[in-house]
Amino acid sequence: MSSEQVPLSAAALDAADPLASLRDTFSIPSGVIYLDGNSLGALQKGIAERIDRVVKQQWGEGLIRSWNDTDWYEMPMRVGDRIAPLIGAGAGEVVVGDSTSVSLFRVVAAGLGLQPSRNVIVTERGNFPSDLYILEGLQGLRPNLEIRQAAAGQDPAELLDERTALLVLTQVDYKSGLIRDMKRLTDAARTAGALAVWDLSHSTGIIPVELNASGADFAIGCGYKYLNGGPGAPSYTWVAPRLVGRVAQPLAGWLGHKDPFAFTPEYVPAPGIRRFITGTQQVLSLAALDEAMKIWEKISIAQVRAKSTLQTNRFIAQVEARCEGLGLTLASPREAAVRGGQVSFTHEQGYAVMQALIARGVIGDFRAPNLLRFGFSPLYLSFAEIDRAVDALAEILTARSWDDPRFTEKRRVT
């Protein structure tokens, strides 16, 4: 073996990690190795103080005066400006509010409105279920709408044709972590005369995203995963600047109006992305997300992606070396270039194995029917922790300690 092939020790990798010091800005309980930042990002230390200030001073003392005296009114756009550089969007192009599902409804309906002579949406069967449900809900409102779902392993581009209004895809698959080629698929949609809508929930904050450069038309994504905005953090919405001035969204509300405080009975949309606001923004949740996003003032997505790749590669290599013959099969791409920030393995007893891991403080999650899912947030995860997580997994599988009624009983949230 040449010296380059000798795997580096976790200690050496941690010593050379330019992001290592960020760990101290998070409050992660001792004894926990957190491998679920792709599902609910961890808490940063400044957030509790920020929320406390917004509640006690701005709300408690300022009362309604705070709508003018603080930045409450501008928050959906200001937090959007913090997210924009991570997704290849410009200042003033992103707005934040409501859940991802609701934001998806708005952009898909807006996109359909631009394509009155077409009635097909192309997506994939394996898309995040909420995204499929939202499309079905729209179908209930527009009965002639047809939804085509690419089967597992099928290229969604094959389903595009002259009747296709929209291609609606999630860039990084929530189960496998496979990264879809945004540029290629957006180009394919354009060639067919369709518009491309991207869900960036498992992309933003973990892989570089280039919305403007790839020619995308609409994008939305989640605030509580790699962005660490907290449980139920609001989502973000982007519409290509060339389209935003002529789209109508179906949940038009007063705060997306050009002049909300004119209180006119006629709706006139705000000129830009602000028209995608419906009602009053979630000020407390926006404050948490705003605070969480400050970390990006110090780091770049390229640094995060570089560390993420090292971490997921290491996890796969170690699990495969140490858990051979113990029933695990890699369910994520082996090639790092098309793998996002998570690694999934199947195991027949996946649920129980994950419960046994969680009981040991190694927190990942389980996705039916048999998937163990591990998310790696480079902002707060060390290489030493990855090695310790593999130790725990190997021990649980070798000793079959998952085979215990404590671990097999299903709980509501997996």
Least Å distance, CB 62 to ligand PLP, is 29
Close Cβ partners of 183 (under 8 Å, ≥ 6 residues apart): 210, 213, 214, 215
Contact 37, 363 (CB under 8 A): no
Catalytic residue among 17, 373, 374, 407: 373
* 131 part of the interface to ligand PLP, by CB under 6 A: yes
Is 98 or 387 the residue whose CB approaches ligand PLP more closely?
98
For residue 260, the tally of other CB atoms under 10 A from its CB is: 16
Site for ligand PLP in 205-244 (CB under 6 A): 222, 235
Instruction: Tell me if residue 373 is catalytic.
Output: yes
Is 251 or 384 the residue whose CB approaches ligand PLP more closely?
251
Q: Using CB under 6 A, pick the residue from 170, 332, 342, 349 that binds ligand PLP.
A: 170
Supply the DSSP symbol for 269: B
Give which of 368, 323, 313, 375 is closest to 344, Cα–Cα: 375
Instruction: Tell me if residue 24 is catalytic.
Output: no
Least Å distance, CB 221 to ligand PLP, is 8
Close Cβ partners of 261 (under 8 Å, ≥ 6 residues apart): none
- Classify residue 270 as left (phi > 0), alpha (psi -120 to 50) or beta: beta
Least Å distance, CB 372 to ligand PLP, is 17
Question: Interacting stretch for ligand PLP, rule CB under 6 A, among 55-63, 93-101, 322-330, 366-374?
Answer: 93-101
Is 293 or 390 the residue whose CB approaches ligand PLP more closely?
293
How far is C-alpha 176 from the geometric centre of its chain's CA atoms? 14
Least Å distance, CB 202 to ligand PLP, is 5
Instruction: Tell me if residue 105 is catalytic.
Output: no
How far is C-alpha 182 from the geometric centre of its chain's CA atoms? 15
CA dihedral in degrees (307, 308, 313, 314; nearest 10)? 60
Supply the DSSP symbol for 172: B
Q: Using CB under 6 A, pick the residue from 26, 72, 105, 174 that binds ligand PLP.
A: 174
Instruction: Tell me if residue 225 is catalytic.
Output: yes
* 342 part of the interface to ligand PLP, by CB under 6 A: no
**Interface mask toward ligand PLP for 98-117; x: CB under 6 A:** -xxx----------------
Least Å distance, CB 98 to ligand PLP, is 8
Q: Using CB under 6 A, pick the residue from 44, 66, 201, 285 that binds ligand PLP.
A: 201
Is 105 or 407 the residue whose CB approaches ligand PLP more closely?
105
What is the spatial distance between Cα 86 and Cα 254, in angstroms, rounded to a whole number?
Answer: 29
Catalytic residue among 34, 105, 128, 226: 128
Encode 188-210: b = buried (16+ Cβ within 10 Å), e = exposed.
bbbebebbbbbbbbbbbbbbebe
Q: Using CB under 6 A, pick the residue from 130, 139, 346, 401 that binds ligand PLP.
A: 130
Is 66 or 100 the residue whose CB approaches ligand PLP more closely?
100
Catalytic residue among 17, 36, 173, 199: 199
Q: Report whether the peptide linkage leading into residue 18 is cis, meaning its omega lies within 30 degrees of zero.
A: no
Number of residues that bind ligand PLP (CB under 6 A): 13
Crossing angle, helix 383-399 and helix 301-322, to 10 degrees? 30
Contact 33, 362 (CB under 8 A): yes
Instruction: Tell me if residue 199 is catalytic.
Output: yes
Q: Cite the active site residues.
A: 128, 199, 224-225, 373
Site residues (vs ligand PLP, CB under 6 A): 99-101, 128, 130-131, 170, 174, 199, 201-202, 222, 235
